[in-house]
């Protein structure tokens, strides 16, 4: 009879060092991938450019045409970084606030609110152009998020359920409004069908500058809420015993998620699955600490969005596949994996 000796488990200090090392490695890899994604976004497009061409542009040695081509990709790259951060961090906040691993920023009716504002402004006021559209999409998204919060806010645990139901109701009503206006106004439909898919192209730095203040406020608030979200994850009673106010935390988290999601949606349209998929990836890398999740989501989100945009530019060259379509193809398997994982742990 043979005896099998159990492998000793690492002590608390050893486990802590292993966890810290894993987070450091994940951080370095994430930064490297993000840097490569930014470089690829500047290099690839309908016209092929090499790394040497990009270096020539940066050094001022390139011809005017090549310089124009490369510099035309700067706004979409900057918007990809900004939108990726907003969507990923907003999704992390939503999943933490609702304690629902399938929550994403669209749960607050933000996408529907922005769409309703864009379609209404186009149909009734003749608004056109991305720079003008963003100033209608942004308040529409913010008002929809505020309306959902007013309807569904409550301090008890059931408030989370009411919040989700309020988001579903507001989204359904606004979606019906969008469909009614779009079908009766062909010009509004032409503008809406391009915007609703989600794309980084066709925007300039005016759009970036318009939404940047809202994104910065939301992201700063999200960073400040990290410790409180850790307490909230233990339940409202446990959070209260630790000195936290669950209602204040949830309200502040909703404000941050609304600002982030509204900024991203107004700038690039309702891009799906980034806010849903990235938090799952980040939790697998760094664990359940929301301070780490928010920081790492700000790296993984833009890397994923930029790489999806590069894929959309390359696979059907010289045409372009909108980034919202690519993220849907990538995010759908992640959603199925999350559902199966939840079923296995139930």
DSSP state string for 274-291: HHHHHHHHHHHHH-S-HH
pLDDT tens for each residue of 100-156: 777 777 777 888 888 888 888 888 887 776 667 788 888 888 888 888 888 876 544
Instruction: Give the pLDDT score at 5.
Output: 47
Phi and psi at residue 96, in whole multiples of 5°? -75, -40
DSSP per-residue string spanning 9-31: PP-HHHHHHHHHHHHHHHHHHHH
pLDDT tens for each residue of 261-270: 888 988 888 8
pLDDT tens for each residue of 92-112: 998 888 877 777 777 778 888
CATH class name, domain 26-345: mainly alpha
Taking every pair of C-alpha atoms in the chain, what is the biggest distance, in angstroms?
Answer: 85
Q: How far apart are CA 297 and CA 275, in angstroms?
A: 9
Instruction: Give the pLDDT score at 289.
Output: 87
Q: Which residues contact 250 (CB under 8 A, 6 or more apart)?
A: 97, 159, 160, 232
Q: What angle do CA 138, 139, 143 make, to 5 degrees?
A: 125
**pLDDT of 15 higher than 60:** no
pLDDT average, residue stretch 165-177: 88
| Average pLDDT of the chain, as a whole number | 82
């Amino acid at each position: 009879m043979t005896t099998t000796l159990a492998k000793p488990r690492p002590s608390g200090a050893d486990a802590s060092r292993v966890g810290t090392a894993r987070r450091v490695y994940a951080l370095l890899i994430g930064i490297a991938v993000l840097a490569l994604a930014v470089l690829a976004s500047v290099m690839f497009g309908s016209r092929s450019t090499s790394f040497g061409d990009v270096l020539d542009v940066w050094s001022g040695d390139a011809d005017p045409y090549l310089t124009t081509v490369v510099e035309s990709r700067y706004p979409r790259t900057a918007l990809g970084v900004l939108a990726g951060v907003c969507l990923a961090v907003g999704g992390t906040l939503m999943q933490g606030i609702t304690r629902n691993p399938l929550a994403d920023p669209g749960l607050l009716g933000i996408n529907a609110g922005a769409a309703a504002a864009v379609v209404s402004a186009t149909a009734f006021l003749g608004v056109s152009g991305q720079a003008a559209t963003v100033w209608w999409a942004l308040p529409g998204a913010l008002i929809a998020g505020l309306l959902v919060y007013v309807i569904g806010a409550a301090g008890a645990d059931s408030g989370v359920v009411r919040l989700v139901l309020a988001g579903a109701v507001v989204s359904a009503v606004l979606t019906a409004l969008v469909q009614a206006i779009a079908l009766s106004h062909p010009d509004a439909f032409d503008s809406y069908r391009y915007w609703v898919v989600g794309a980084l192209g066709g925007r300039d730095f005016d759009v970036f500058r318009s939404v940047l203040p809202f994104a910065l406020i939301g992201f700063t608030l999200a960073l400040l809420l990290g410790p409180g979200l850790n307490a909230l994850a233990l339940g409202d009673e446990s959070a209260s015993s630790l000195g936290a106010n669950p209602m204040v935390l949830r309200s502040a988290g909703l404000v941050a998620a609304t600002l982030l999601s509204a900024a991203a949606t107004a700038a690039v349209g309702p891009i799906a699955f980034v806010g849903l998929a990235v938090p799952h990836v980040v939790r697998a890398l760094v664990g359940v600490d929301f301070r780490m999740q928010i920081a790492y989501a700000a790296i993984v989100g833009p890397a994923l969005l930029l790489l999806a945009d590069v894929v959309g530019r390359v696979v059907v060259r010289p045409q372009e596949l909108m980034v919202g379509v690519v993220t849907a193809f990538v995010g759908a398997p992640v959603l199925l994996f999350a559902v199966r994982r939840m079923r296995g742990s139930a």
